[in-house]
Amino acid sequence: MIKKLSVLLIIMVFAFAAYSQDEVFKTDDMVFYGLDFTKVRIDENGGITPYYKPASFQDKYIPAINDLLIDEQSRYDVGKSYQKTNIEYDFEIAEDRNYAFDIYNCYVEEEQIPLLTRDEVDEVVSHYKDSNHSGLGLLFIVDNINHERGIITLQIVFFDIDTAKTYLVKKARGEMKGFSIRNYYAGGIRQIIKDTESLYKKRWKKGK
What is the distance between the alpha carbons of residues 92 and 63, in angstroms, rounded to a whole number? 11
Res 50: pLDDT: 66
Res 51: pLDDT: 72
141's CB contacts (< 8 A; 6+ apart) are 35, 36, 39, 116, 121, 124, 125, 154, 155, 157
49's CB contacts (< 8 A; 6+ apart) are 42, 107, 147
pTM strictly above 0.85: yes
The 10s digit of each residue's pLDDT in 162-202 is 999 999 999 999 999 988 999 999 999 999 999 999 999 88
Res 203: pLDDT: 85
What's the average model confidence in pLDDT over 204-208? 76
Res 47: pLDDT: 59
3-state secondary structure labels for all residues of the chain? CHHHHHHHHHHHHHHHHHHHHHHHHCCCEEEEEEEECCCCEEECCCCCHHHCCHHHHHHHHHHHHHHHHHHCCCCCCHHHHCCCCEEEECCHHHHHHHHHCCHHHHEECHHHCCCCCHHHHHHHHHHHCCCCCCCEEEEEEEEEEECCCCEEEEEEEEEECCCCEEEEEEEEEEECCCCCHHHHHHHHHHHHHHHHHHHHHHCHHHCC
CB neighbourhood size of 125 (10 A):
25
Task: Name the percent of the chain lying above pLDDT 70.
Answer: 86
What is the distance between the alpha carbons of residues 14 and 186, in angstroms, rounded to a whole number? 36
The 10s digit of each residue's pLDDT in 135-159 is 999 999 999 999 888 999 999 999 9
